[in-house]
Amino acid sequence: MPVSTRARVPSKALRQAILDMTGFIQSGYHGNSRPQHEIAFDDLRAIVNRVIEDENRVLSEQCAANGIGTSFGSARFEDHHVVAVMDETGQVTARFETDNVLISTGSRPRHPIDLPEEPELFLDSDEIFKMNSLPKSLIVLGAGIIGCEYATMFAALGIEVILMDRRDDMLRMLDAEISRTFTNYIQQMAGLTVKLGQDIETLRKSSDGRGEVVLKDGGSLVADRLFYSMGRIANVDGLDLDKAGIELDKLGYIPVNALFQTAQPHIYAAGDVIGQPALASTSVEQGRLAIRNALMLKSHHFPEFFPYGIYAIPKISSVGPTEEELQKLGVHYEVGRALYSEMARGPIAGDTQGMIRLIFHAETLEMLAVHIIGTMATELIAIGQIAINLRVKADYFVDTIFNYPTFAEGYRIAALNGLNRLEGPGAAKWS
C-alpha cells in the first residue's frame, strides 16, 4: 500500500472518534453543538492508535499470506537496480538487487514560512498527534482540504478555532453551490471563526508563550497552538534518485507516463510522489496498475472518473465536472437537488443541512456529475460514480425504489427535482 494512503488513516480515525465522543452532529440538530464533557486527547489518540495497529496487523497478515517479504528502514538507490535499506543510525541492514522498483513514498507537509523552533506550539498534520493535551484555542493556517478538515474537527471538540488563509475563498475546486453550503455551515459552527484574505508577515512565540501570527497590516492573532497546512511535498529526500537516473519536475514530483514508468522503464512511481490527484484511493489504484504493468499482467488505463472526498465536518464528495466547468464547455445540462431536510433520514441522523446535487444532460438525461455535502457523502458518491460510468439516465432514479428512510433515496428526490425543471416541448412533468 502506498505510504500516502497510510497518512490518511489517522485523521479519518480522529474525525470519527471526535464525532462519536461528542455526538456533535446530533447535538447540533437538537440545539447544542458544544461538547458537554471534557474529552482527553489521550483517549482520542488511543482510538486512533488502535485503528492504526489493526491496519498494520491486517497488512502484515496479507503480506505473509501472499509470500511478500518486508524490510523496514530508510531506502536509497545505489544504482539503477540496487536499493539499500538503512536503520536509524544510517547503517545498511539490507540490500536488494531487483528487476523492477516501485517508488511510493508519499508526501509530507510543506513548510513555506519560517517556523520558530517551538514544536509544542507550531504543529502540522504529522505532529498534531504528539500533543499532550487539547488546547483551549487554535489557529489553523491554510483553508485548503487538510486545514478545513482539522479546523472543523477541533471546533467540534469545543476548541476556539480561527481558520485563516491569504486567499479570499476556501476549497475552490468544489462546485460553487456546494462550496457556498460548506462555507455557510462552518461559519455557523460555535467557536469557529473564518478569516480569509490575510497577508502574513511572520509567525512567532508571543510574549505570553502562545503561538502568534503577525499580519502585514500590523495586526496579530494569538492562540494556544498553531496548526499549519500549506500544501504537501513529495517524500523523495534521501532516495538518491540521481543514482537511478531520475530527475524531478519543476514542482518536485517524479514524472511518469501512462504506465507509471519513470525515465527508467523498470522504475515505476505512484501516489503522492507523482503529484495530483494525490488521493488515498487513486494512490492505491496507481500502485496496483504500476505493479501489474511491471509484471506484464493484464491491466487497464487509469480511470477517467473517480470520486473526491473531503473529510471535514460536514463531509463533501464529488465525481464528475462542476457546473462551472460544464458551462465553459457549453454543455446543455440540468441540475437536481435533494436537501437532507427533505428526507426522513436527515432529521433521524441529526443532519438537515446536507444536499445531494445531480447534474445530467438536458437532452439525453445522461448523468454527468454528482456533488454531495453531508453525512455519508463519501459512501453515497459511489452510486453516482456507477451511474456516470454506465451512462445511466436521470429517470432511472425516478423509476427505482430505494430503502426508506435512507440517504440514498436522495438520488430519487434529486432526479425528480431536476427533471421537473426541464423546459421545452419535449419536457414532461415527473412525479
* pLDDT, tens only, 75-116: 999 999 999 999 998 899 999 999 999 999 999 988 877 777
Q: Global pTM? A: 0.89
Mean pLDDT of the chain: 90
Per-residue model confidence (pLDDT) at position 272: 95
Name the segment(s) of the chain with CATH classification 3.50.50.60: 111-230
Q: Which residue has the higher pLDDT, 230 or 361?
A: 361
CB 319 within 8 A of CB 384: yes
Per-residue model confidence (pLDDT) at position 373: 97
pLDDT above 70 for 36: no
- Could you write out the DSSP letters of every residue in 139-195? EEE--SHHHHHHHHHHHHTT-EEEEEESSSSS-TTS-HHHHHHHHHHHHTSTTEEEE
Per-residue model confidence (pLDDT) at position 39: 82
CATH 1.10.1740.10 fits 314-419, yes or no: no
Task: Look at strands 225-228 and 137-141 and give their pairing.
Answer: parallel
Per-residue model confidence (pLDDT) at position 120: 83
| CA 136 to mean position of chain CA atoms | 26
Supply the CATH classification number for the domain 111-230: 3.50.50.60
What is the radius of gyration, based on Cα positions, of the chain? 24
Count CB neighbours of 403 within 10 A: 9
pLDDT tens, 162-214?
999 999 888 988 999 999 999 999 988 889 999 999 998 899 999 999 999 99
Lowest mean pLDDT among 34-38, 279-283, 327-331: 34-38
Q: How far apart are CA 281 and CA 36, in angstroms?
A: 36
The sign of the torsion formed by the CA atoms of 404, 408, 414, 416 equals: negative
Band of the pLDDT at 119, cuts 50, 70, 90? confident
Name the segment(s) of the chain with CATH classification 3.30.390.30: 314-419
Angle, CA 112 vertex, CA 110 and CA 113 arms, to 5°:
130
The DSSP secondary-structure symbol of 302 reads P
